[in-house]
Amino acid sequence: MTIDLTALGWDAEWAAYAARYGEHRPGRVARVDRGVCTVLAAAGPVRASLGGAVLAAAARDLSALPCAGDWVLLARWPDGRTTVEVVLPRRAALIRRTAGKDASGQVLAANLDAAAVVEPVHPEPDVGRIERLLALAHESGARPLVVLTKADLAADPVALARQLAAVAPGVPVLPVSAERGVGLDPLRAEVAPGRTLGLLGPSGAGKSSLVNALAGAVMMPTQGIRRVDGKGRHTTTWRALVPIPGGGAVIDTPGVRAVGLLDGVAGLDRAFADIVGLAEGCRYADCGHDGEPACAVGEALLTGELSARRWESWRRLQREVAQEGGRREARLAAQRRGGWRSARRRAARPPSPGGF
């Protein structure tokens, strides 16, 4: 089995990076299971463990570990082993904060051209979740989309999409039904040859059904809607890159119960571009939007141009990002202190006999 890497996005820029590392074979990570990668290489899929340089980089920063969507360079050893020796620089990455207190990041998917926030219309969309995931998508460097799944269950999916466009300024909002094949054409353009679409959303949102509909075959397992509450069942438990026949790829991520934001101020500003635009109209550049005179945000809240719910969502996420930024700085400072202490201990160590 051979694989056309250009259909998966390999291009001259990636090849130029790879040329710096000699004769290693390139490939794209489809899946990672406990440190073992399934990599799509030109000669076919291979299973590869992590090489020493990759493990050393991950010891300093866990986000250096390969993930679905990464382009990597492989080495084949005389004993038959294949290892990932290099993770090539990422053009885009979906990164969420891990559950720990050290403000580190977990890469959900890499090298996306578009990042779709997938939200089911039934029983009803969670607007706050859409806002949070959009901030993550904006910060990734990929082009964000909002995909409203199970649109066949909505009375008027087009009107619902127009309504939700207010919380996704400048972002396409696409109602789709994978079961009926409705509304998929705009998404097919996102998985054209050489392009990669990432799907981000809660369990049961219909991400796996979307993958299957775009691929034209059952590539990911799916389950039906629960009768009790109308919600979809959790299906995917790993991140997987799925090649699409004819070129392009989709990365399906596990359902996320909670997504913590890192210090992604730029992504948050783009997700709330309407509030940022209002704030620029305030009389004072340092306006706190808390009763100051000529506050454009306060006026918008009074007139109803800006909803109190969206304003509170913005403030909550701003506090979270500021807090995580502080934690990250504290972690980096501790690492620097640890490095200085190690350097001082090495400098104070007496030389060994013979001067070595």
269 and 209, same structural domain? no
Q: Which of 219, 252, 285 is the last residue of a domain?
A: 252
Is residue 328 one of the residues assigned to a domain?
Answer: no
pLDDT mean over 123-145 = 93
pLDDT band for 354, please (50, 70, 90 cuts): very low
Domain assignment of residue 269, yes or no: yes
**Same domain as 127, residue 237:** yes
Of the candidate ranges 40-49, 90-99, 137-146, the one whose mean pLDDT is the lowest = 90-99
Tell me the mean pLDDT in the region 220-225.
56
**Same domain (yes/no): 76, 124:** no
Residue 342 has pLDDT above 80, yes or no: no
Question: 275-292, pLDDT tens digit by residue?
Answer: 999 999 999 989 989 888
Residue 25 and residue 116 in one domain: no
Is the pLDDT at 261 greater than 90, yes or no? no
In a domain, 200, yes or no: yes
162 & 248 share domain: yes
CATH code for position 282: 1.10.40.50
Residue 353's pLDDT is what?
46
Phi, psi (deg, nearest 5) at residue 145: -135, 160
Q: Considering the domain boundaries, does residue 198 fall inside one?
A: yes
Residue 98: pLDDT over 90: no
Q: Is residue 341, in this structure, part of any structural domain at all?
A: no
109 and 165 assigned to the same domain: yes
pLDDT of 320 reads 85
Residue 123: band (very low, low, confident or very high) from pLDDT cuts 50, 70, 90 = confident
| Same domain as 145, residue 246 | yes
Range in 123-127, 143-147, 347-351, 352-356 the model is least confident about? 352-356
Q: Looking at the domain assignment, is residue 340 inside a domain? A: no
**Among the ranges given (21-30, 39-48, 80-89, 237-246), the one the predictor scored with the smallest mean pLDDT:** 237-246
Domain boundary among 67, 87, 107: 87
d(CA 353, CA 52): 31
- Digit-coded pLDDT (tens) for 25-43: 999 999 999 889 999 999 9
The percentage of the chain sitting over the pLDDT mark of 90, rounded to a whole number, equals 63
Same domain flag for 146 and 162: yes
352 confidence band (pLDDT: 50, 70, 90): very low
One domain, residues 165 and 277:
no
Q: State the average pLDDT over residues 62-70.
A: 94
- Predicted confidence (pLDDT) per residue in 290-311, tens digit: 888 999 999 999 999 999 999 9
**Which domain-ending residue is among 197, 225, 252?**
252
Residue 120 tokens read as 């089911």
Number of domains forming the structure of the chain:
3
Task: Domain of residue 163: give its range.
Answer: 93-252
For residues 27 and 158, state if they share a domain.
no
DSSP of 134-181, one letter per residue? HHHHHHHTSEEEEEEE-GGGSS-HHHHHHHHGGGSTTS-EEE-BTTTT
Choose the weakest-confidence range: 80-89, 99-108, 232-241.
232-241
Q: How many H-runs (helices) and E-runs (strands) does the chain carry?
A: 10, 13
333 is a domain residue = no
Whether residue 206 sits in one domain with residue 297: no
Strand 196-200 with 173-175, pairing? unpaired
- Give 356's pLDDT tier (boundaries 50, 70, 90): very low
DSSP assignment of 284-343 equals STT--SSS-TT-HHHHHHHHTSS-HHHHHHHHHHHHHHHHHHHHHHHHHHHHHHHHHHHH
Tell me the pLDDT band of 228, cut-offs 50, 70 and 90. very low
Do 98 and 239 belong to one domain?
Answer: yes
What order do you get walking across the sheet with 240-243 strand by strand? 173-175, 143-149, 114-120, 196-200, 249-252, 240-243
At residue 238, the pLDDT reads: 63
CA distance 141 to 94: 8
Contact 61, 69 (CB under 8 A): no
Residue 175's CATH number? 3.40.50.300
Nearest to 327 by CA among 58, 107, 104, 132: 104
Residue 74 has pLDDT above 70, yes or no: yes
Residue 13: in which H helix or E strand, if any? helix 12-19
Q: Is the pLDDT of residue 104 over 50?
A: yes
Which CATH number does the domain housing residue 60 bear? 2.40.50.140
106-115, 156-165, 170-179, 227-236: the lowest-pLDDT one: 227-236
Residue 349 belongs to a domain: no
